Each structure stands twice: as structure tokens, then as C-alpha cells.
């Protein structure tokens, strides 16, 4: 039975608050790294594990946390997530050295995974039809807003207080959220034992596999994508994943029910989420490289130029939820990817060293609108095509695919970017071998000034032009690739998320 409106609003507020904490802590630490290193000492590589550890543990336990919530209850798991996240935040804020901070951040990532993966199941459990779709849209828009606020909030806290404040600010919020959770979420129903005993062997295999895969994707650029370390990590991760999937077909209560992928609509939603993170997260990284490397905008200007993307995505996310009540889910999602394809292709054409930054505003808006329209409906489809008792498993699968897609997108599109840059530099004016290597490295990092500082004055103009052309061409190649991925996704969505593959309530808006 649907709870009273006041309780529903309380659950939505609780879910948004938990998600905002997790999303903000994904990025807020980035701006504080120099202050953390100054305060605790150690190398920059060591301090970077403050970010890497959080992302690895979050990606590793997401699927398991979702499946566990189906067995032991959403309320219990959400309370556990808030408690773990809050206690770990306290430990982060009080950390005496980088080792303690890194370990606390890894634990914080576990709490974050529990909170993140239970957001959709809680909304799915307590809402139906259009109300559920709009709640998911509101949640998605709030997550986008949190990602936009994070860098600004982090900078303000570090400048006015200290780097410890970015962690300690979570503590009072976590305490309040814990109390709200106790008062708002109804007790978990008894009888969850019908889902079977916990698949401990599968849990261990999956956590190990995803942890290694995330480590390889996060560290691949520094280690070298073709290095022995990266290849070994990916190979072992693949073997462990294969063992996990084999086990899941044989146990009575699997951590991941492979039969979910026999539902075309679920498979379509899962693929759409995966590809969307490949082209969106990966593509956005190279927006900034182009803005700062070829157009020579400073970080503040780059952030202002990207602001329309986030604002458009927030507004369009709410629109996407509304459209689900009037049009077929597949058509709504496909329209979002059409916008993504158009925006990406337009940006690819516009990315030149001479373009006025403000001429990029319209295609950036189209890109953001596409992400907003497609995002919430994809999540709604994934939740609507499965029963509520397995909502945690479904959310874990979708969230894990999103995390892996972001890593793969950054790696694959990065390879396209650097390959294109190498081609432009090779076709440019003759340069000494050492200078050519410096140009390639600077272009890949967007560091124009770094190579100009070691270039003779007589050659600076030519080298700067070459760098600008290489960075712009590399970014264009990434955006053309993103447009192509968007077109592929349109075809997948229209084929798999068709009316005949959707349950009637989801197709009609409930």
C-alpha cells in the first residue's frame, strides 16, 4: 500500500539527501587534494588514493549491496549505509595521516554504494506509475545539481575552514538523515528469507572482480593501458567475472539473476545506461581539455561554459519524467539520444581553435537536454520491468554498469583522442624528436604553456598553432565517436524497449 503523501515526500527527501552526499563526495575531494597533501604530507600519487579508494570500493560492492537489500530489507540497509558513511566521514576528517585517510575513504565508498544503490528501490517500493517516474526524475535532477555544486562547495570549505571540513560537514547531515530514516521508512516486512541464503561465494567473486576492473580503469592511464600491471588486472578481473557468472547459473539465490537479461526491455535499459556513461562521462572530460588547451579558457571560464549543460540536464530530467506518462518509454529515451547525437555532431564540427566559446552554448544545451530526457526514463524502465522484490538487484546491476561505462568511456575515448593528436602532430611541421614527444605529451594533457616554455622563441608560434589544431582535432574525434555511439543506442532502445516488451502499466504510465 502506498504510504501517506507526507511519508512519500519524506522518503524522497531522504533518498535525495543520501544521494547528494555520495555524489558530492565523489568530486568534492578533487579541489582539496593540494591542501590535503600540504596538511598530511606524502606524494601526490599517494594522496590521489583518497579518490581512487572511494571509487574502487563503491564500484566493487554496489551489486552486492543491492542484492542484499532484497534479502534483509531496504530500511535496514539504508540505515547501515548512513551509519557507515557518517562514521567513515568522521574518520576522514580526523585522519592523522594519508594511510588512515585512504582507508577511511575506502570504507566511506562502501557506505556510499549502499546509499546510492538503495535510492531507486526505495522509490520503486513506495510509489507507482507516474508518481514513481516523476520521483525518479526528481532524484536524477537532484543528483545532477549535487555534482554541479560539489566543486564550488569544496573550494569554499577548504578556503574558509580547512580540507577536513569537506568530510566533517557530512557528519551532522548523516545524523539527521539517520533520524529521518528511523521515523520515515516503514519497518521491513518479515519473510524475506524466501529469497534464499546469501550467496557468499558469488559475493566474494563479484567484489574481487569489480574491484580489480575498477582499479585497472582508474589507474590505466598512469600505469599505461598496455602495461603488464593493467593487462594483468583486467585479465584476472575477467576470469573472476566469468567464474561469478558461471556460479550464478547454479545457485538457488544468486547475487545477480542472469535471467533478467532475457527481458529485452531490461537489457535495452542496461545497455543504454552503459553506453550513456561511455559517451557522456568520457566525452565531457575532453570538453575541458579543448576549452583549456585549444581555446585557452581558465578553469572558471570552462566551468561557466559547462554550466548550461548541467542546468539543461536538470530541467530536461523533469521533462523526461512527464513525457513517460504520454509517450512510449522507448520513444522518449530515443528522443534523448537523438539530442545527444545532434549535440555531439554539432560540437565536433564547431571544435576549432578559432571558434568563439559562446557559439558552443547551443550545442552544449542540446547535449545536456538529451542527457536529461533519456536519463530518468531509462532508470524507470529498468525498475518497471522487474518485480519490486528484486529492485535492489536491478539497481545494483544498473549502477555497476554505469560505473564501468564511465571508466571504459574515459579509456576508449582517450585512446581516440591521443591517436588523433598523434596524427595531427605527425602531419605538422618538422620538429626534433624530443620536441615532437613534448608536443604530443602537452597536447594529450591540454598543457600548451608547458611545451611552449621549452620551445625556442623562433618556433613558438608554429608549435602553439600545431598544439591548438591537435587538441581541437582530438576533441572533435571524441565527439564524432560519441555521436556514433548515440545513434547505435537509438537503434538498441527502439528495438529492445518497444511497447510489446514492456509491462502494460509501465507502457501506459501507470
pLDDT of residue 20: 84
Round to whole Å and give the CA distance between 313 and 343. 13
Which three cell numbers, joined as nine digits, stand for 380? 524507470
DSSP state of 4: P
What 8-state DSSP symbol labels residue 297?
A: -
Distance CA 265, CA 394 (A): 13
Q: Give the pLDDT confidence of 150-191 residue by residue, as tens digits.
A: 777 777 888 788 889 888 988 998 898 898 888 888 777 654
Pick the more confident residue, 484 or 412: 484
Distance CA 153, CA 475 (A): 29
With a pLDDT cut of 70, the percent of the chain lying above it is: 85
CA distance 217 to 56: 10
Nearest CA among 9, 314, 7, 28 for reference residue 170: 28
What pLDDT does residue 123 have?
80
Query: All 3 cell numbers of residue 229?
Result: 600491471
Would you say 66 and 118 are in contact if contact means Cβ atoms under 8 Å apart? yes
Domain boundaries, the chain: 1-185, 256-510
Fold: same for 1-185 and 256-510: yes
Residue 331: strand, helix, or coil: helix
Q: How far apart are the first and last CA of the chain?
A: 15
The chain-wide mean pLDDT, for the chain, equals 79
The rounded distance, in Å, linking the Cα atoms of 175 and 25 is 17
Query: Which helix H or strand E contains 75, and what residues bound it?
Result: helix 74-93
- Residues 399, 379: Cα–Cα separation, whole Å: 10
Work out the average pLDDT over 416-425.
80
The CATH architecture to which 256-510 belongs is Up-down Bundle (1.20)
Residue that the C-alpha cell 585517510 belongs to: 101
CA 144 to chain centre: 10
Predicted pLDDT of residue 339: 92
Structure confidence at residue 451 (pLDDT): 56
Dihedral angle over CA of 309, 310, 313, 317, nearest 10: 180
Unique residue bearing C-alpha cell 564540427: 349
**Which of 155-159, 210-214, 425-429, 449-453 shows the lowest mean pLDDT across its residues?**
449-453
Where b means 16+ CB within 10 Å and e means fewer, 292-316 reads: bbbbebeeeebbebbebbbbbbbbb
The pLDDT of residue 80 is above 90: yes
Which residue is associated with the grid cell 568530486? 27
Which pLDDT value is given to residue 342? 95
Any alpha helices (H) in 185-298, and if so which ranges?
Answer: 200-223, 228-248, 264-293
Q: Which residue has the higher pLDDT, 74 or 85?
A: 85
At the topology level, CATH places domain 1-185 in: Growth Hormone; Chain: A; (1.20.1250)
pLDDT at site 436: 63
Closest CA to 54 of 130, 94, 109: 109
Residue 277 CA to residue 494 CA, distance in Å, equals: 19
pLDDT tens digits for range 223-263: 777 788 888 888 998 998 889 888 887 877 777 878 788 88
Question: In the predicted model, what is the mean pLDDT of residues 480-504?
Answer: 84
Which runs of consecutive H residues, i.e. helices, occur in 224-263?
228-248
Number of H helices, E strands in the chain: 20, 0
459 pLDDT band (50/70/90 cuts)? low
**Predicted pLDDT of residue 260:** 80
d(CA 257, CA 510): 26
Kindly state the percentage of the chain with pLDDT values over 90: 10
Look at residue 207 in the predicted model and tell me its pLDDT.
83
* Residue scoring higher pLDDT (335 or 418): 335
pLDDT at 4 over 70: no
**CA-wise closest residue to 66 among 342, 371, 382, 324:** 382
Most confident of 130-134, 232-236, 432-436, 462-466: 232-236
Q: Within 13 Å, how many C-alpha atoms sit on residue 95's CB side? A: 28
Average pLDDT, integer, range 271-289: 77
Amino acid at each position: 500500500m502506498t504510504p501517506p503523501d507526507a511519508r512519500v515526500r519524506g522518503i524522497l527527501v531522504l533518498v535525495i539527501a543520501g544521494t547528494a552526499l555520495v555524489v558530492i563526495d565523489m568530486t568534492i575531494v578533487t579541489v582539496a587534494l593540494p591542501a590535503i597533501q600540504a596538511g598530511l604530507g606524502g606524494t601526490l600519487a599517494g594522496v590521489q588514493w583518497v579518490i581512487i579508494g572511494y571509487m574502487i570500493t563503491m564500484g566493487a560492492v554496489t551489486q552486492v549491496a543491492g542484492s542484499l537489500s532484497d534479502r534483509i530489507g531496504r530500511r535496514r540497509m539504508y540505515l547501515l549505509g548512513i551509519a557507515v558513511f557518517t562514521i567513515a566521514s568522521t574518520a576522514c576528517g580526523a585522519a592523522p595521516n594519508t594511510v588512515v585517510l585512504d582507508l577511511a575513504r575506502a570504507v566511506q565508498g562502501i557506505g556510499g554504494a549502499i546509499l546510492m544503490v538503495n535510492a531507486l528501490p526505495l522509490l520503486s517500493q513506495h510509489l507507482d506509475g507516474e508518481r514513481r517516474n516523476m520521483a525518479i526524475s526528481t532524484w536524477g535532477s537532484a543528483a545532477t545539481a549535487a555534482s554541479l555544486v560539489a566543486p564550488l562547495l569544496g573550494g569554499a570549505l577548504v578556503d574558509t575552514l580547512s580540507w577536513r571540513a569537506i568530510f566533517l560537514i557530512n557528519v551532522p547531515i548523516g545524523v539527521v538523515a539517520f533520524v529521518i530514516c528511523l521515523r520515515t521508512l516503514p519497518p521491513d516486512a518479515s519473510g524475506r528469507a524466501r529469497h534464499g541464503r546469501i550467496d557468499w561465494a558469488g559475493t566474494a567473486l563479484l567484489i574481487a572482480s569489480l574491484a580489480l576492473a575498477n582499479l585497472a580503469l582508474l589507474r590505466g592511464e598512469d600505469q599505461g593501458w598496455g602495461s603488464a600491471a593493467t593487462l594483468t588486472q583486467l585479465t584476472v578481473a575477467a576470469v573472476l567475472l566469468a567464474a561469478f557468472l558461471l556460479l550464478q547459473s547454479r545457485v538457488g539465490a544468486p547475487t545477480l539473476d542472469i535471467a533478467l537479461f532475457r527481458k529485452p526491455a531490461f537489457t535495452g535499459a542496461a545497455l543504454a545506461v552503459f553506453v550513456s556513461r561511455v559517451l557522456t562521462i568520457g566525452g565531457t572530460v575532453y570538453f575541458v581539455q579543448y576549452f583549456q588547451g585549444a581555446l585557452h579558457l581558465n578553469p572558471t571560464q570552462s566551468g561557466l561554459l559547462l554550466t548550461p549543460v548541467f542546468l539543461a540536464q536538470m530541467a530536461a530530467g523533469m521533462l523526461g519524467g512527464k513525457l513517460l506518462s504520454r509517450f512510449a518509454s522507448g520513444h522518449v529515451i530515443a528522443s534523448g539520444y537523438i539530442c545527444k547525437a545532434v549535440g555531439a555532431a554539432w560540437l565536433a564540427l564547431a571544435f576549432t581553435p578559432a571558434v568563439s566559446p559562446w557559439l558552443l552554448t547551443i550545442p552544449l544545451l542540446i547535449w545536456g537536454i538529451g542527457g536529461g530526457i533519456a536519463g530518468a526514463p531509462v532508470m524507470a524502465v529498468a525498475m518497471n520491468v522487474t518485480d519490486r522484490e528484486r529492485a535492489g538487484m536491478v539497481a545494483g546491476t544498473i549502477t555497476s554498469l554505469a560505473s564501468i561505462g564511465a571508466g571504459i568511456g574515459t579509456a576508449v575515448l582517450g585512446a581516440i583522442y591521443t591517436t588523433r593528436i598523434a596524427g595531427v602532430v605527425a602531419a605538422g611541421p618538422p620538429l626534433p624528436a624530443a620536441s615532437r614527444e613534448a608536443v604530443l605529451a602537452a597536447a594529450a594533457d591540454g598543457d600548451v604553456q608547458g611545451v611552449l616554455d621549452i620551445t625556442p622563441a623562433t618556433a613558438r608560434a608554429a608549435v602553439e598553432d600545431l598544439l591548438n589544431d591537435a587538441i581541437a582535432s582530438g576533441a572533435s574525434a571524441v565527439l564524432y565517436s560519441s555521436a556514433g555511439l548515440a545513434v547505435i543506442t537509438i537503434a538498441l532502445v527502439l528495438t529492445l524497449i518497444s511497447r510489446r516488451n514492456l509491462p502494460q502499466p509501465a507502457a501506459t504510465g501507470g
